């Protein structure tokens, strides 16, 4: 019954997001629409979060009638520094989401003339409140993509403010649970739904930053087999951060002891990732997301290695490679003795991840299939990985799992603490169901793959444990089809039955010919 109620609430939430989309349709679409809704959701979330935090403290002290939202701004300014230290940010009572929404709704003339400039000031105040504190980097530029003065919202200030008022009311009407009861799943779910909704309609651009939830679940399950907690999780191409957050969902609350770490080169997606962390109730001191090119300017150099690395890096993008003479001496790439090709950075991400991986850790990385069999520098890097026993498993995934590409991708699982010198190959190309335009991994599909992975099980037409010598004999080709024989799907023909059917057809044809000859003879007479 509780699960049905939760599904009902989720459907209601999704309908509310669609209703906002309808309100803004024609003015804002796609990428911009997503930024406005997520930005407004984030504004609501942190307003309710800080309000609840302050109220709980006052109520616990016996001041049961206290309500931060009803306080005068001048009466709370002395509490600012302490709140920034504890929460990472500060919002004045008059600037809380609920108060601004109510004022915009009840004072139409004020909203028509001033709402955009008020929101711009509030967003700047929130970001500036963190300046000089430990949370500064987590809040800087978070509202940069929320342009309250954009012509996309309307051609005049009044029209833009009309849209902004509808946006505030739409997000206010979302059933996002009560923050003080820690029921924040709805905020995270709304984020995931909005990202999926955008990515499924955005083609390649959407797929570049979004890994579907089912693939994220599989990667995390593979990376946490046998573990009940980890020190921290890392994604070198973290996009909007959804893949990072699966670790807490799979292992449980507070089972990622030291937090969530990632790097993202696209600044807009970097902002989305940080918002995603907050909407999933990850404190500012429990995540570190950097905006840099991972391959050229890696962050988190000095951090303790990661027990879990999960990633879906961009496929076959260009990178500096041999054009940068310093990279061949980079401790991440030097051990292989060769750099990934300039036109295909895939194995550079693999080498980077291996370097950042803890000795007892696991990395599960989505790969473009070409890196499994191509020659040249890529073959030399594969040789290094196999010769040093770092590759634990290669999994062939079904085609059409990702938004923006129908290609059948693979997963490479890396470990540094293997107890034998074998590599498991799994052909999971049929482990899926078709949903609308894409294939999807069901919970049963994921369970099937993870079980075979955990047990290192030999299954005909599905998995094979290959010894080092076998891979070496195949010139370090890591394509799953080289090691797992596919099912023969050709139909078995019963030759006796076929001959009988042919004989029957011939006899029937002879009868028809005789009947036709008889009719023609009668006509000629």
Residue pLDDT, tens place only, 333-367: 999 999 999 999 999 999 999 999 999 999 999 99
Quick one: pLDDT band at residue 206, thresholds 50, 70, 90? Answer: very low
Cα–Cα distances in angstroms (integers) from residue 68 to residues 45, 121, 125, 485, in the given order: 15, 20, 18, 66
Query: Are the C-beta atoms of residues 24 and 163 closer than 8 Å to each other?
Result: yes
Cα–Cα distances in angstroms (integers) from residue 243 to residues 206, 303, 315, 490, in the given order: 15, 20, 17, 39
The residue ranges of every structural domain in the chain are 2-199, 204-483, 493-525
Quick one: pLDDT band at residue 19, thresholds 50, 70, 90? Answer: confident
Quick one: pLDDT band at residue 519, thresholds 50, 70, 90? Answer: confident
pLDDT at 181: 46
**For residue 435, is pLDDT > 90?**
no
pLDDT at 201: 55
CA distance 496 to 499: 5
pLDDT, tens digit, 9 for 90 and up, residues 458-494: 999 999 999 999 999 999 999 999 999 877 655 666 7
Query: Are the C-beta atoms of residues 357 and 305 closer than 8 Å to each other?
Result: yes
Quick one: pLDDT band at residue 95, thresholds 50, 70, 90? Answer: very high
Is the fold of 2-199 the same as that of 204-483?
no
**For residue 424, is pLDDT > 80?**
yes
For the chain, give the percent of residues with pLDDT over 90. Answer: 62
363 DSSP 8-state letter? E
CA distance 480 to 486: 10
Quick one: pLDDT band at residue 224, thresholds 50, 70, 90? Answer: very high
Query: Are the C-beta atoms of residues 478 and 394 closer than 8 Å to each other?
Result: yes
The stretch 445-470 carries a mean pLDDT of: 96
The stretch 111-119 carries a mean pLDDT of: 94
Higher pLDDT, 331 or 198: 331
pLDDT at 205: 42
The stretch 55-63 carries a mean pLDDT of: 90
DSSP string computed for 121-132? HHHHHHHHHTTT
pLDDT at 203: 44
Q: Which distant-in-sequence residues (6+ apart) come within 8 Å of 424 by Cβ?
A: 392, 393, 394, 452, 453, 456, 463, 464, 465, 466
Of 213-222, 389-398, 400-409, the poorest mean pLDDT is in 400-409
pLDDT at 182: 40
**For residue 48, is pLDDT > 60?**
yes
CA distance 231 to 256: 6
The stretch 207-225 carries a mean pLDDT of: 83
- Average pLDDT of the chain to the nearest whole number: 88
pLDDT at 199: 61
Q: Decide which of 3.40.50.300, 1.10.10.1100, 1.20.1260.30, 3.30.70.980 is the CATH code for 2-199.
A: 1.20.1260.30
Of 38-52, 191-205, 481-495, the poorest mean pLDDT is in 191-205
Query: Are the C-beta atoms of residues 426 and 391 closer than 8 Å to each other?
Result: no
CA distance 126 to 165: 20
Higher pLDDT, 355 or 180: 355
The CATH homologous superfamily of the domain defined by 204-483: Vaccinia Virus protein VP39 (3.40.50.150)
**For residue 25, is pLDDT > 70?**
no
The stretch 197-204 carries a mean pLDDT of: 55
The stretch 253-259 carries a mean pLDDT of: 92
For the chain, give the percent of residues with pLDDT over 70. Answer: 89
The stretch 137-143 carries a mean pLDDT of: 92
pLDDT at 365: 97
Query: Are the C-beta atoms of residues 313 and 349 closer than 8 Å to each other?
Result: yes
pLDDT at 29: 54
Query: Are the C-beta atoms of residues 414 and 362 closer than 8 Å to each other?
Result: yes
pLDDT, tens digit, 9 for 90 and up, residues 278-329: 888 898 999 999 999 999 999 998 789 999 999 999 888 999 999 999 999 9
pLDDT at 480: 96
**For residue 202, is pLDDT > 60?**
no
Cα–Cα distances in angstroms (integers) from residue 345 to residues 319, 321, 338, 385, 468, in the given order: 6, 8, 12, 16, 26
């Amino acid at each position: 019954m509780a699960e049905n109620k939760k599904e009902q609430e989720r459907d209601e939430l999704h309908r509310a997001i669609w209703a906002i989309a309808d309100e803004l349709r024609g003015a804002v679409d796609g990428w911009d629409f997503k930024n406005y809704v997520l930005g407004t959701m984030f504004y609501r979330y942190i307003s309710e979060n800080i309000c609840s935090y302050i109220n709980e403290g006052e109520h616990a002290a016996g001041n049961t009638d206290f309500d931060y939202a009803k306080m005068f701004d001048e009466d709370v300014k002395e509490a600012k520094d302490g709140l920034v230290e504890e929460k990472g940010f500060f919002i004045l009572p008059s600037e809380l989401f609920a108060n601004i929404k109510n004022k915009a709704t009840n004072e139409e003339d004020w909203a028509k003339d001033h709402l955009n400039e008020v929101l711009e000031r509030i967003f700047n105040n929130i970001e500036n409140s963190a300046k000089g504190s430990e949370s500064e980097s987590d809040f800087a530029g978070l509202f940069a993509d929320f342009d309250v003065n954009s012509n996309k919202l309307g051609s005049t200030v009044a029209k833009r403010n009309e849209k902004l008022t509808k946006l505030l009311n739409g997000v206010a009407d979302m059933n996002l649970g009560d923050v003080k009861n820690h029921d924040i799943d709805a905020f995270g779910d709304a984020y995931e739904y909005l990202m999926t909704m955008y990515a499924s309609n955005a083609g390649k651009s959407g797929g570049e930053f979004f890994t579907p939830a089912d693939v994220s679940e599989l990667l995390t399950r593979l990376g946490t087999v046998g573990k009940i907690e980890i020190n921290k999780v890392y994604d070198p191409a973290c996009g909007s951060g959804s893949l990072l957050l699966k670790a807490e969902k799979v292992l449980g609350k507070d089972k990622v002891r030291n937090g969530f770490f990632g790097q993202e080169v696209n600044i807009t997606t970097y902002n989305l990732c940080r918002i995603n962390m907050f909407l999933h109730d990850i404190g500012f001191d429990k995540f570190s997301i950097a905006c840099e090119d991972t391959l050229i300017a890696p962050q988190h150099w000095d951090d303790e290695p990661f027990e879990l690395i999960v990633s879906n890096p961009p496929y076959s993008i260009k990178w500096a490679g041999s054009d940068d003479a310093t990279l061949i001496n980079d401790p991440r790439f030097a051990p292989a003795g060769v750099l990934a090709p300039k036109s295909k950075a895939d194995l550079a991400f693999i080498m980077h991840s291996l370097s950042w991986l803890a000795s007892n850790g696991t990395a599960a990385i989505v790969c473009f299939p070409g890196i499994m069999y191509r020659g040249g520098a890529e073959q030399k890097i594969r040789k290094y990985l196999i010769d040093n026993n770092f590759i634990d498993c290669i999994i062939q995934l079904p085609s059409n799992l990702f938004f923006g590409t129908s290609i059948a991708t693979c997963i490479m699982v890396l470990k540094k603490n293997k107890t034998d010198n074998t590599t498991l190959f799994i052909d999971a190309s049929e482990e899926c169901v078709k949903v609308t335009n894409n294939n999807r991994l069901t919970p049963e599909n994921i369970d099937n793959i993870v079980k075979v992975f955990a047990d290192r099980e030999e299954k005909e037409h599905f998995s094979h444990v290959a010894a080092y010598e076998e891979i070496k004999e195949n010139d370090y080709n890591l394509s799953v089809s080289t090691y797992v024989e596919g099912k023969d799907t050709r139909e078995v023909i019963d030759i006796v039955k076929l001959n009988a059917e042919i004989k029957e057809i011939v006899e029937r044809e002879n009868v028809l010919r005789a009947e036709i000859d008889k009719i023609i003879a009668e006509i000629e007479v």
